[in-house]
Copies of this chain bind each other. A is one copy, B any other.
Amino acid sequence: MSSTAADSTAAAPTRRPGRRRDAAKDALIVDAARQLMVEHGFDAVTMDDVAERAGVGKATVYRRWASKVHLAVDAMTAAIPTLTVDDVPDTGTLRGDIMMLPGLIHRAREDAATDLLGPARDHPEIADQLHQRLARDRVAVIRGLLERAQVRGEVPAGRDLDMIAAVGPAVIFYAKAFSGEQFTPELLERVVDGVVLPLALGQPA
């Protein structure tokens, strides 16, 4: 669940003495952080806020996460069910498959995650976590759908599937981050029909 929390599932043949770490607290803390950050943004949330909301001491938080950024990464991503191609029902067409995605993804969290881009810059290993969870997962699923469509014969061989899979999330993120546009079904349709499908299905240039 957490990239930095001690792995409580590790086989510990010789358990050390002392009270065991309450695994339930992990969830409490992550939930508190997620709620607060989704609502107020990364900067406006303090570690004291998180600890208080979680009904937990600050030390307990820091015993599990090394910093606010570490926690935020987990908070923003942990609860996102790792979507895989198999989770997307086969509708028979690439377009149909792609249109299923928004319903499967909770987007509020991705917005909040934007706040992490800056702070995560000087923590490469954290940025990595963030990237993996937000972008790679998302792109990987679309890539899977493209492959499925290729098997089906919809998508010709020889296309740069990695690139095409990335275009959709990229444009939508860009529109949100820089142009302030909200995500809407119309935007999705415009991207899918104007960019993704032409690239995937259209004639070679």
Residues of A at the B interface (CB closer than 8 Å) are 40-44, 114-119, 121-122, 124, 127-128, 130-131, 134-136, 160, 163-164, 166-167, 169-171, 173-175, 177-180, 190-191, 193-195, 197-199, 201-205
Query: A202 and B204: CB pair below 8 A?
Result: yes
Query: B163 and A195: CB pair below 8 A?
Result: yes
Chain B residues with Cβ below 8 Å from A43 are 118-119, 122
Chain B residues with Cβ below 8 Å from A134 are 178
Main DSSP-derived SS at the A contact region = helix
Chain B residues with Cβ below 8 Å from A201 are 205
Query: B178 and A131: CB pair below 8 A?
Result: yes
Copies in the complex: 4
Query: B115 and A118: CB pair below 8 A?
Result: yes
Expressed in whole angstroms, the Cα–Cα distance for A140 and B199 within the complex equals 22
Tell me the minimal C-beta distance from A132 to chain B in angstroms.
Answer: 9
Chain B residues with Cβ below 8 Å from A199 are 194-195, 198-199
Tell me the minimal C-beta distance from A202 to chain B in angstroms.
Answer: 4
Query: B175 and A171: CB pair below 8 A?
Result: no
Partner of A203, one of B131, B173, B195, B203: B203
Chain B residues with Cβ below 8 Å from A204 are 198, 202
Partner of A114, one of B44, B118, B180: B118
Most buried by B among A160, A167, A173, A204: A167
Chain B residues with Cβ below 8 Å from A42 are 118
Partner of A205, one of B160, B179, B197: B197
Chain B residues with Cβ below 8 Å from A190 are 160, 163
Most buried by B among A130, A175, A198, A203: A198
Partner of A117, one of B166, B175, B177: B177
Chain B residues with Cβ below 8 Å from A136 are 178-179
5 pairs of A and B residues whose beta carbons are closest in the complex: A135-B178, A170-B174, A115-B118, A203-B203, A198-B205
Chain B residues with Cβ below 8 Å from A202 are 198, 202-205
